[in-house]
Amino acid sequence: MSARERSDLPLARRVVVKVGSSSISGDNAHKIKPIVDALAAAHGRGTEVVLVSSGAIATGMPYLLLDERPSDLATQQAAAAVGQNVLIYRYQESLRPFRIVAGQVLLTAGDLENATHRSNARRAMERLLGLRILPIVNENDTVATHEIRFGDNDRLAALVAQLIGADALVLLSDIECLYTRPPDEPGARPIPHVSYGDDLHGFEFGSVVVNSVGTGGAATKVSAARLAAASGIGVLVTSADLVGEALSGDEIGTWFQPNPEPTAPAATGPVRTALDRLGG
C-alpha cells in the first residue's frame, strides 16, 4: 500500500532506503550491521526493500592510502572501483545470517535518461525483487563523469523510487530530522511534517556540503524528498541510527506527505530537467 503517513511504513509493499557515505564508512563502518538488521526485519515482513548506498569512494580511500576524498576524477574512479567491491562484501556478510542475497545495481544518469536503458534497469530490478533479492544501488562512480552525474545519491534514490513505483522512500542522514535552519544555530526548530505543497522557502536548509568522505546536505534531501513526493511517494528523512524505528512507523524524523493526486513520471527525458525544476 502507498505510505500516506509514517505509520504506513510497516505495511508498505515496496520501500527504497538511502544511506550516505558518512553513515557507513570509516569509523562508522560497523553501522552497516544495524542498518542491515533493520532492512532484514522489513524484508521478513514481506516488504520489498531496495537499498541505495553511497560509500564506494569513501570505502576505497584507505586502500589507496588516502586521508581525504580525492578531488581529481581519475582517483575518484579508482577509489570507487576498489571501494564498491569491499562495500558490497560488507553488506553481503551482514545479510548472510538472514539468508538474504544482495544484488548490485550500478547506474549512471545516462541510464535513466535513455529510454532503453531505463526500461532495462526497471526490468532487472523488478526481477531481483521478484526473486526476493535485495538490490543495492549506487551511482557507477567508476565510469561516471562530472558532466553526467546525478549530483548526489539522495536524488538517485528519489529517481529509483519513481522508477520502480515504490510506496515510500527513507532518506537516512546524520541527524534525526530536518530543522528550519542549521540545527547548531539559535532558533532552529525541528520540522516533523511537510504537507504536500507546503511553501518551504522561509527555511534555511543550507547549500550542498562536501565533507571528507561524501557529498550531500539538508538541501539535497529536501529537493529529493519533494521530487519523490510529487510522484505520490511518501518520504521520511531521519538518522541512520534510527532506521529500525523508521521502518517500524515510529513518530520520528521529517515526513513529506505524498501528492494525493500524482501524475506518473515521464518514462523518458533528461534526469537533469526534473532536478532543475526543484533547484537541483
Cα–Cα separations (whole angstroms), residue 269 to 110, 125, 134, 207:
10, 20, 28, 26
Q: Which domains does the chain have, with CATH numbers?
A: 6-277 (3.40.1160.10)
Name the binding residues: 18, 54, 141, 153, 173-174
pTM: 0.88
Q: What is the pLDDT of residues 149-207, one digit of tens each?
A: 566 789 999 999 999 999 999 999 888 999 988 888 888 899 999 999 888 776 766 54
How buried is 195 (Cβ within 10 angstroms: 0-12 exposed, 13-18 middle, 19+ buried)? exposed
Name the binding residues for ATP: 18, 173-174
- Considering only CA atoms, which of 280, 264, 195, 257 is closest in space to residue 231? 264
- Considering only CA atoms, which of 222, 237, 233, 232 is closest in space to residue 278? 222
Give the C-alpha separation, 119 to 121, whole Å.
5
Name the binding residues for substrate: 54, 141, 153
Cα–Cα separations (whole angstroms), residue 69 to 177, 210, 214:
26, 9, 7
Q: What is the pLDDT of residues 74-130, one digit of tens each?
A: 898 899 999 999 999 999 999 999 999 999 999 987 788 889 999 999 999 999 999
